[in-house]
Homo-oligomer: A and B are copies of this chain.
Amino acid sequence: MTEKTKDSAKLDSKRVYSGRIINVDVDRVRFPNGKEGELEIVRHPGASAVVPFLSDPASDNPQILLLRQYRYAAERYIYEIPAGKLDGNEDPELCARRELREETGMEAETIEHLTTIYTTPGFTDERIHLFMATGVSRGGDATLEHDEFVEPEPTTLSDALHMIATGKIVDSKTVCALLFVAGFRSGL
């Protein structure tokens, strides 16, 4: 199997782990300089994440919704914005709306794409599509999966920024999305 990309070629690929959420491949690759080597890569379907604004984002210090979420990888609860994996070929915006509904019971009038990030491109192809949601109101109850432990935590944007500055928010998609909306809103 040879699959050309702009700057390299995949010469061979061996699936070394097939999991529930991730797969791991060891690929034999021709690098941009023509040399060959092996790379291990975690294949992930991608995800969407959304900053839900509970009040007008143009107001002085708008209210947003954070989640306290239990993360086994971090061995504790950490603060995040609502997020979750794309379901097959799901449209990223629909995924953001679905995850907002499932994790918080909230519906959004308007959803706007901020940017799309590679979480850690040294070893995974995972991308997360970041959105902000406005006109957010309760549509029903949250419907969590058996291994999701999530508590809504409304806060102000300025308090959330303080939590980033002091290391209380450490999740990269959450740091990216909050600093993105706050920074570009303030004219960075």
Q: Which residues of A contact B (CB under 8 A)?
A: 5-8, 16-17, 19-22, 24, 26-27, 29, 31-33, 35, 37-42, 44, 47, 70-78, 115-128, 146-147, 149, 161, 164-165, 167, 170-173, 175-176, 179-180, 182-184, 186, 188
Contacts and interface: CB of A to CB of B under 8 A. Distances in A.
Nearest to A165: B184
12 contacts: A16-B19, A21-B40, A22-B42, A37-B147, A41-B73, A42-B42, A42-B123, A74-B118, A120-B124, A128-B172, A176-B176, A179-B188
> In terms of DSSP, what is the predominant structure of the interface of chain A?
mixed
B147 A39 contact: yes
- A6, A8, A26, A121: most-surrounded residue (chain B CB, <10 A): A121
Nearest to A41: B73
B8 A70 contact: yes
Q: Number of copies of this chain in the oligomer?
A: 2
Nearest to A169: B115
A147 B31 contact: yes
